[in-house]
């Protein structure tokens, strides 16, 4: 970050870059940033474990709906066990109509997002699924523009290009196109982007001091109720789609103790991944969260390559470098993203406080967009 001086004297202006570099390093290595990087690393690791074990389960027991259904139940179970451990963890709140009404949309996003993702991975490789999911930052900024009237500066949009292309290049040797896998990956990506935006608004409402009828749920309660509601909502889907196939399956490996342990480990890693994702989303904007998720794709794909003993090509190495170049570009424009998040939070507080909405209307009835471009 370059700090401008109040004086326009030539020598001082020339010395600014020398001051800027230590300041950038200080910001990069600050305690808050190191804490954020540590949480991201744990998130990436748990995500890699969840995806690779999930793929291994599907290779031996090809029932993606069953995997997703058991995963929801185990996530809710681990939330319940964590809440009753004490040691500073929050307690689960008693269910109310308001809590159910708040978490049902998140549960529906979870159900359909995971169903599409599981189907995509069963028809294609993990790397192909995550290649399509690399479009999530683009979907995020476009949805913000469409529904919250937020227009970012060109620098933000430009930084997303090398980020997205970099992740796709990492997977270029892994791409084996399958129509079902492509469509399901695309649907899953869009659903999870919408879920992240909705969840971020709930976190903002919980942190706001404005009086609101929305229940203020912490991360553990929000994850428990969304996972438990997803478990209940998915029951008819599982019965219709896979219950008979599971009971009459003669092709997959028999359900053994080893497979049960894989399911248990997959459920625990999914719980860790979900609670860490909620934690990160509560700290940053959905756009920054999508960028962090892009880096997670690199981590997961790399772990998948080593886990399944695949070779790494020079194109993939170049893709990783392009991704980090995009991260540098995005870091230069993150102040504009922070300004956008401040606009959105202010709009929510005004609406919840029965004040006038922040996006205005012209006399002809058309909405006016909030532009974050500098004059």
Distance separating alpha carbons of residues 166 and 351, to the nearest angstrom: 39
Token couple for 79: 């939330």
Distance separating alpha carbons of residues 225 and 223, to the nearest angstrom: 6
User: What does each C-alpha distance from 61 to 56, 127, 255 come to in angstroms?
Assistant: 8, 20, 8
Number of CB atoms found within 10 A of residue 71's CB: 27
User: What does each C-alpha distance from 229 to 69, 109, 120, 242, 276 come to in angstroms?
Assistant: 11, 11, 23, 20, 20
List all residues 6 or more positions away from 24 whose beta carbon is below 8 Å from its beta carbon: 1
Q: What count of residues does the chain have?
A: 375
Q: Are 280 and 38 in contact (CB under 8 A)?
A: no
Please, what sign has the CA dihedral across residues 325, 330, 333, 334?
A: negative
Q: What is the pLDDT along the chain (375 residues), one digit of tens a residue?
A: 344 434 433 344 444 444 444 554 455 556 777 888 889 889 988 988 998 898 888 888 888 888 889 999 999 999 999 998 876 678 899 999 999 998 999 999 989 987 787 778 778 776 677 677 777 888 888 888 787 777 777 878 888 888 888 877 766 555 566 788 888 888 998 999 999 888 888 887 777 666 556 677 888 999 999 999 999 999 998 998 888 888 887 666 666 788 899 999 999 999 999 999 999 988 887 888 888 877 777 777 777 677 666 666 777 778 878 877 887 777 777 666 666 666 666 665 565 444 333 334 344 444 444 444 443
Distance separating alpha carbons of residues 145 and 139, to the nearest angstrom: 10
In three-state secondary structure terms, 312 is coil
Domain ranges of the chain: 48-358+367-371
């Amino acid at each position: 970050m370059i700090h401008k001086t109040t004086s326009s004297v030539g020598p001082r202006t020339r010395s600014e870059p020398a001051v800027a570099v230590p300041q950038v390093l200080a910001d990069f290595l600050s305690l808050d940033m190191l804490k954020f990087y540590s949480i991201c690393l744990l998130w990436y690791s748990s995500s890699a474990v969840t995806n690779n074990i999930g793929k291994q389960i599907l290779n031996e027991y090809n029932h993606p709906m069953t995997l997703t259904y058991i995963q929801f139940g185990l996530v809710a179970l681990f939330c319940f066990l964590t809440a009753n451990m004490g040691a500073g963890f929050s307690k689960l709140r008693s269910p109310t109509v308001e809590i159910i009404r708040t978490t049902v949309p998140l549960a529906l996003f979870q159900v359909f997002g995971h169903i599409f993702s599981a189907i995509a991975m069963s028809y294609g490789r993990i790397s192909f699924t995550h290649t399509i999911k690399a479009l999530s930052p683009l979907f995020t900024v476009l949805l913000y523009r469409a529904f919250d009237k937020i227009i970012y500066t060109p620098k933000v949009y430009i930084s997303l290009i090398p980020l997205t292309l970099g992740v796709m290049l990492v997977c270029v040797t892994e791409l084996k196109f399958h129509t079902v896998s492509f469509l399901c990956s695309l649907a899953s990506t869009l659903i999870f982007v919408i879920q992240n935006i909705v969840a971020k608004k709930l976190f903002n409402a919980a942190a706001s001091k404005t009086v609101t009828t929305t229940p203020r749920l912490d991360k553990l309660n929000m994850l428990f109720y969304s996972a438990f509601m997803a478990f209940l909502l998915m029951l008819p889907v599982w019965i219709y789609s896979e219950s008979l196939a599971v009971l009459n399956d003669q092709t997959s490996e028999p359900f053994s103790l080893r497979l049960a342990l894989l399911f248990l480990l997959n459920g625990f890693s999914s719980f860790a991944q979900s609670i860490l994702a909620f934690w990160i989303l509560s700290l940053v904007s959905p756009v920054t969260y999508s960028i962090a998720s892009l880096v997670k794709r690199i981590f997961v794909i790399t772990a998948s390559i080593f886990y399944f003993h695949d070779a790494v090509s020079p194109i993939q190495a170049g893709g990783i470098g392009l991704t980090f170049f995009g991260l540098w570009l995005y870091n230069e424009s993150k102040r504009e993203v922070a300004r956008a998040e401040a606009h959105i939070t202010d709009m929510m507080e005004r609406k919840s406080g029965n004040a006038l909405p922040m996006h205005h209307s012209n006399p002809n009835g058309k909405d006016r967009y909030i532009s974050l471009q500098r004059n």
